[in-house]
A and B are shown apart, each in its own frame.
Chain A
């Protein structure tokens, strides 16, 4: 199970904020230009560190939203109202500011072309961020690995990367399904319920296809989705999870 990546010391570096992109009312993408970036694999994250004038510091981890092939390093951050770092990143940061970070971190919740598939990506809320990096990597390398994504959000307005995901779903090998758990627009044709065993049975690859499964979202979402997948017959060892706590950002 040992990873293959050979890592040196992960040093802190100061990146410049190139651009900020509002994704939804609560999420913003921070486009960065780190000076000595070693590259990353889709699904990895970075540590971000803020420093107040009196020297007080706060660190948090954020998933990388960009593909390894993209020109810039992009983090997509959801504002947590009682958070310490995310309200700053979403509300205070300006283009041209400096942001301290180190990474990439994490070597298990990653997908790269060589791992093959088929691929099942299950996202809850902002858990879509590292899965979007995998989809962008998939497209950038022209992968033929078939992908199905199931993305659960509260409403259409809460869907991050909606236009991009819809475009990516135009590919012959990529299917994206949205399910909206709280509010639906008039005439909504997609799913309208929480991710459960029945929904996964409809959308997911059959266990016999031995898909590689990546599940990311809040803890309760990941617990429910991973448990349902195991009940459906997917091998636990094929299911990789990343959970977000209730607090943190």
Chain B
């Protein structure tokens, strides 16, 4: 039985549309940062994005090649498991569907991997059909390193740890395999609307 917190009223902003805020989240105007280690700095000349584990050879794009691909501008709400939600964030990047076009795979899962060793796992169907991007600009500016630049995955319908910062590639997998935070007790799927923060949620 949830107790009433005597004297607690909360600070509710009537301007905010509560239907856009998942359970247990609060809206912030800032852009907080969560990372497990130091921020990597990979020079763009050495940067590439690679998709491995398909039937064919790995597919790889240099930074310049990625810039040549069709870009999309996306405005979405993002939800961090540490409880903040940020509304109407604007990103520019390449749809993961664009990158996967022409790649044949029997895999049903992907593991996104990043500079610094970070990984996160997702069902393949959660990164296709316009649900995920490799984003390299935020608010029309190059993405700051502390927010995952030069490029991060953007999967706004899941908690934001799934939107891997400093992303360098996707591995296509037959089997689901927990990524970094998923191995430390965070939920395997991470739907904010189901409040899937931790194992068993």
Contact = CB atoms under 8 A, between A and B. Distances in A.
Interface of A: 1-3, 5, 7-10, 12, 14, 47, 49-53, 56-61, 84, 88, 92, 94, 97-100, 105-109, 219, 223, 226-227, 229-230, 236-237, 239-241, 243-248
Contacts of A2: 178, 183-184
14 contacts: A3-B185, A7-B200, A9-B199, A50-B5, A51-B2, A51-B5, A92-B6, A92-B8, A94-B6, A223-B33, A226-B37, A227-B38, A236-B38, A244-B32
Contacts of B35: 241, 243
Nearest to A59: B24
B16 interface: no
A1 B7 contact: no
A166 B7 CA distance: 37
A84 B11 contact: yes
Question: Residue among A99, A244, A245 with the most chain B CB within 10 A?
Answer: A245
Given A9-B199, A92-B8, A107-B184, A240 B84 contact: no
Given A9-B200, A241-B37, A248-B28, A107 B84 contact: no
A51 B1 CA distance: 11
Given A100-B3, A230-B38, 4 more contacts: A2-B178, A10-B201, A236-B40, A246-B32
B200 A52 contact: no
Size class of the contact patch on chain B: 35 or more
B185 A105 contact: yes
Nearest to B34: A243
B185 A106 contact: yes
B38 A245 contact: no
B96 to A, nearest CB: 23
A94 B5 CA distance: 11
Nearest to B27: A247
Nearest to A87: B11
Contacts of A98: 3
Contact of A239 (B9, B38, B184): B38
A226 B9 contact: no
Interface string B113-134: 0001101000000000000000
Interface in B1-48: 1-12, 24, 26, 28-30, 32-40
In this complex, the member of B24, B38, B178 whose beta carbon has the largest number of chain A beta carbons within 10 angstroms is B38
Contacts of A14: 1-3
A51 B3 contact: yes
Contact of B4 (A5, A8, A53, A60): A53
Interface in B75-96: 82-84
Contacts of B38: 226-227, 229-230, 236, 239, 241
Contacts of A94: 6
Contacts of B185: 3, 5, 7, 10, 105-107
The 7 closest A-B pairs by CB, nearest first: A245-B32, A9-B200, A2-B183, A107-B184, A226-B38, A50-B5, A3-B184
Nearest to B24: A59
B46 to A, nearest CB: 16
A226 B39 contact: yes
B83 A219 contact: no
Contacts of A97: 5-6
B191 interface: no
A10 B200 contact: yes
B26 A240 contact: no
A164 B72 CA distance: 54
Given A3-B183, A9-B199, A247-B84, A108 B2 contact: no
Contacts of B34: 243
Interface in B104-160: 116-117, 119, 146
A236 B116 contact: yes
B198 A105 contact: yes
A52 B8 contact: yes
